[in-house]
Chains A and B, each alone.
Chain A
Amino acid sequence: MESGKLGQNPCKDEVNTEISEIEEEPTIMTADATPATRDRRQPFLLARLFPFMRAHLGKYAGLFVLSIITALIGLLPPLFMQIAIDTFATAKDLAGIQTIILLMIMYGVLGGLIGFASTYLREYLGQKVVMDMRVKLYSHVNELSFSYFDNVRTGEVMARVMQDVAQLQMYMTMGVISLTSNLVTLAGVVAILFSWNPIIGSIFLIDIPFILVGMRSFSRRVAPANARIRKANGVISASIQDCLNGIREVKLYGREEFMLGVFDKWNDEYFNAVIDSNKQHALWMPYVPFIVSASSAIVMLVGGLLVVSSDYTPGLLIATIAYFTQLAAPLRMVTRFLGLHATAKAAGARIFDILDLQPAISDTPGAVWLDEVRGHVKYHGVSFHYHEGHDILKDITLDIPAGRVIAFVGPSGVGKTTLLHLLPRFYDVSSGEVTIDGRSIKSVTLESLRMNVGIVMQDTFLFDGSFADNIAFGKPYAAKEEIVRAASVARLNKFIESLPQKYNTMIGERGVFLSGGQAQRLALARVIITDPKILILDEPTANVDAVTDKEIMDAVRETMRGRTTLVIAHRLWTIQHADMIVLLKDGRIEAKGTHQELLGTSAFYREFFASQIQAEDGGQNKNHDETARSEGAGR
């Protein structure tokens, strides 16, 4: 639903249509430039944009020249008319008329060709610059660290890369160039009219502020209503989407009337906002054509009197009126440029804010390649906080010998995931140090570090593509055998082979065609193929229906073999496979040891696993069941 369209004005004058279509955009966009971003220090937008334009300077110059020629050609037709009427028609010179016609046709063709060339060139430059800028922005975003993405929504980054860049394109091509050509047109008309007659020239000049003021006041007054339209529109769309997503909930809670009530409120608000916006449209849209027609009438009056009383000719009068009908177009572009400038400035500020951002984590100077990893991981007094003064992890010291499986348990939000994310340097420790085989992870290159530390995250994110693409994600040029081997270890080979297109089967957007267990195993295979010495698993069996998907267990077990594994565990099964369990509480290590040891020594651990332990024992031992339940309830 495009908000601007709903309030469109139905009147349809020649000039009117153009204005309503062009004028609306900048107002809408201006309102998007929130004050917060608009007031950024942003010395010269063009200065910052210049590097992107530099590669195409020649073409820009060409476009500039073409635009000015186009503007000048546009000045000719009324001149032809004047000459035709005053010189040849008065003198009854038929040959002269024919010459004029031939000239006009030539100019028409020439104008069309030049118009074609400049439109093409303009789009070429616009698209090219946008492309360069997008690629640069995109690569830069890819370099940024996790901390950046934690605080930004996907949609926001998308808006920067796609929309904001497009805004700048309009500014850099249409804006700057056509501003020049329109100013040339205006100046040309003023010069011609003044040379013909100063009084009529002045009427033209007086019109300019009238039109500009009208356009500005329209933009200003329609903006609040348009903002309301956009907001109501957004809410209505969201509520419809909510309703579709949540229809089950709505029905189960019998909340149809409640939902309809909310919808009605915004449907009414939308209606009122459109009506308010239309008040301005209805008043101001026919305003510019009115000024043009009214001043034409005045020119008729003054011109008519001049024709009667002086040597002012009818041809001049007719040509003058033709120039007046051209008055609105260049002014419209100038107004539009002002709106465009505001929008572009805001868009530019947002883009350069990102481009100016240094990745929080990058290779330290003199970093070396991490190789021959055995997998001995050590946390030395590690603390970590996202925000100053709120330590998530406090003084964690942990020694994990190569090839061992360590399970991390503790309540949600205790920092288990964060602790493990410090190892591949998704975040840097606030104090302390993490080492692999005795070498600080900060002393090696990020690339080599992350190659040696494989991770399967909590929500398995898969990419649109085939099974083969997804498995080979981290090793693009992997041989077919490697892919199959990785799939076999992840217990996925049989399933994939059963599909008609086998490894070339598309998994759908984010793997929609896969079950939770299959997605999880695919994520495992993706890591297995890179053969990391150190493996991080974030509860590998979390979203899996254990009853139907036991293959995941075998896959995990085999993947862990021969690697140092740090695993976050919610389930007993996972814990059972650990050599050591680390229990975290309040950002510290509460206890560590084997499952049996911890059951004996840690009351918190027992409490933590009470329900699971009881369920586990329930089938085999009734008495124990009762004990565990009372124990759990007693806390």
Chain B
Amino acid sequence: MHGMGGGHGGHGGHGMGGGGGMGFRRRLQEDRKTAKISEIKRKDLKFIVPHVMRQKWRVLLAITLTLSISATSIVAPWLSKLLVDDYIVRADLMGIVLVSMLMLGMHATNWSLHYIQSRNTVGLAQRVIKDVRRDVYKKILALSLRFNTERKKGELLSLVTNNVAVLSDAFSSGIVNVFTDIVTLVGVLVAMSMLDVELTAISLVIAPLILLTVLALRGRIRAAFIEVRRKIAMLTARVEENIAGIRVVKAMRVEGRKNQDFMDMSMVNFRTSMKATLLFAAMFALVSINSFLVFALIIGFGGTRYIEGSVTLGDLVAFFQYIIMFLRPIQDLVSTYNTFQEAAAALLHIAEYMRYPIDVPEPAPAERVSLPTPVRGRIELNDVTFRYGSEPLFEGLNLAIEPGEKLGVVGETGAGKTTLINLITRLYDVIGGSVSIDGVDVRKLPSQEFRRQFAVVSQNVVIFSDSAKNNIRFGRPGASDEEVVEAARLANAHAFIEQMPEGYNTMLSERGYNLSGGQKQLIAYARLLLARPAIAILDEATSNIDSYTEDLIQKNMGAVLKQCTTIVIAHRFATLHAVDRLVLMDKGRIADTGTHRELYGRNAYYRQLYDTQYARM
């Protein structure tokens, strides 16, 4: 919300020209992508059709109700005409009572129909959208890491949340509204022409003026508001950056300059807003003047005709009511059209995403193999070829890791250490050759079962928006509270968790509670210790932990993970002192393998790497 939501309370209370103003304005301010509705192909609807079909009775009910509601709305003014012409003018008391009661009944019916209609359509839309949202989320989980690295996270998030919401909007109200609008428009036109063709013709000439006004200014207003949003976003980003970096700002005493910056940006923001307001207020005034014009003309022509005696007073009364019913959908037409264009864009986006191929597929049922139990944790890479883009990284790579072995992987950034892990854990599939666990090709293993054998601590630990307890339990969802605490103790995380406001129940979030990088890694260690995997992977797992604490954890790990095959990647050689064997990687090749002393003795490249870190002291 950005504060321009002014409403139009001061605007003429004529009851016309104001209808839907707020919504129109709000829609103008939203910067959403649009697409032509004709762009939607049959295949784009595949993801949503089955969900809609499941609700077909609700769809039918919606159509029926729409027709009934429009009918009751259109009949009401006709009744006023009857009342005025046939009973009031003729002083028929019984008739007056009868028709008035009929009207009252009609309004009550209208209310209950609206109630049912609303429950029905919202129920329908929400059921469809709920299913779509679930499908979209499921797809995120199914897609490989490749998809995630190719697309920006923000873009993906917006795909799932915003696009589904836009679609939901169109479903919840858009479709029914348009349908109602069209039915009403047609019905009103018919009713009006039955009353008087000439007056109807006059209204039809003037009404498009309103539409034209809106159309003419709309594009510019939209552009202006988008500019306002952009400026606000810039201002917000600036404030956010400044608050996040406030310690630097204060340490360097540049508060004054920052204030001046902010003032300048606010001023620009102010001017942009006023420009948009100018256009908006102008459009509003024009629409309002046009509405007055229509009314004035109807009174003029209608009055003249009344004096001539060719229309009755009742005709005029009904006509005024019809005109109001007629003008509103026309005013809304543009924004409704836009809603559908936005929905079309959202739909196309989601459809495209749902079609994205899954490049690390589950094994076909016929090929599926289970791991022999107990899982021993022997890993073998056989003649593996792999590349991310076009640059080959691995070519004919061979490596065997024995059950229970502690293997260290060293090498410069870009040597392929993390890729090695990605292939072993099947985050990516090899292009040539194979990766196997206990002799079974990983592509034949069901992913859930397969991945349960691993636990990972990495450099950038991800904390989920959940309690500290559940974040550790992520390692093994079924674990008891005692087991969670025990794992935290072993990982040296117990002390700081206890100190948090609500201990293990404290809600953590990536952005919220400030866990230090080291603390996040301790949580990840607890996860790992709770999971007790067959294969543990420590990818720069102690980069944020001081060596003293690291030592403590390693001692505990040693006891718990004695049987477990462990792969350690580390920049700090100090971290690698407990491994059985080192693999030295260089540009996607395994340059050498052996213990630290063997490598230091015979490999010049290793010696150089090692000495850079220590010899300069």
Contacts and interface: CB of A to CB of B under 8 A. Distances in A.
Contact of A111 (B257, B288, B549): B288
A10 B172 contact: yes
Contact of B117 (A10, A112, A268): A10
A412 B545 CA distance: 8
Contacts of A6: 126, 129, 165, 168-169, 172
A246 B300 CA distance: 69
B258 A142 contact: yes
Main secondary structure of the interface of A (DSSP, over half): helix
Interface in A57-111: 66-67, 70-71, 73-75, 77, 80-81, 84-85, 88-89, 92-94, 97-98, 100-101, 104-105, 107-109, 111
B299 A609 contact: no
A182 interface: yes
A553 B577 CA distance: 24
Interface stretch (A363-371, A494-502, A568-576): A568-576
B13 interface: yes
Nearest to B309: A92
Contact of B9 (A182, A244, A274, A530): A182
B299 A80 contact: yes
A124 to B, nearest CB: 6
Contacts of A126: 3-4, 6
Given A246-B464, A290-B107, A412 B549 contact: yes
Nearest to A156: B243
A462 B103 CA distance: 70
Contacts of A353: none
Nearest to A613: B574
A314 B299 contact: no
A252 B451 contact: yes
B602 interface: no
B10 A115 contact: yes
Best-surrounded residue of B243, B246, B527 (most CB of chain A within 10 A): B243
A123 B549 contact: no
A415 interface: no
A444 interface: no
Nearest to A107: B292
A177 B6 CA distance: 11
Contact of A318 (B270, B317, B549): B317
A476 B597 contact: no
Contacts of B616: 550, 553, 573
B251 A455 contact: yes
A616 B274 contact: no
B612 A412 contact: no
A247 B181 CA distance: 45
Interface in B151-190: 153, 156-157, 160-162, 164-165, 168-169, 172-173, 176-177, 180-181
A30 interface: no
Interface range on chain A (Cβ under 8 Å from partner): 35 or more
Contacts of B5: 25, 170
A174 B172 CA distance: 30
Given A105-B292, A254-B451, A124 B300 contact: no
Nearest to B455: A253
Contact of A178 (B10, B247, B258, B477): B10
A573 B100 CA distance: 94
A101 B7 contact: no
A13 to B, nearest CB: 8
A49 B572 CA distance: 58
Interface in B226-274: 232, 235-237, 239-255, 257-259, 262-263, 266-267, 269-270, 273-274
Contacts of B609: 547
B115 A139 contact: no
Interface string A116-136: 101110111011101100110
Nearest to A80: B299
Contact of B617 (A138, A174, A474, A572): A572
Contacts of A155: 511
Nearest to B533: A253
Contact of B130 (A255, A267, A283, A474): A267
B461 to A, nearest CB: 8
A230 B13 CA distance: 34
- Top 6 A-B pairs, shortest CB-CB distance: A108-B292, A166-B3, A178-B9, A254-B451, A74-B13, A282-B118
22 contacts: A7-B172, A17-B20, A21-B23, A92-B307, A115-B8, A116-B285, A123-B273, A123-B281, A162-B2, A240-B161, A254-B451, A256-B141, A267-B133, A412-B546, A461-B244, A474-B253, A545-B413, A546-B571, A572-B617, A573-B616, A615-B614, A616-B614
Given A177-B9, A615-B574, A615-B576, 11 more contacts: A17-B328, A18-B18, A88-B303, A93-B307, A119-B280, A124-B274, A142-B258, A146-B247, A271-B126, A293-B103, A545-B413
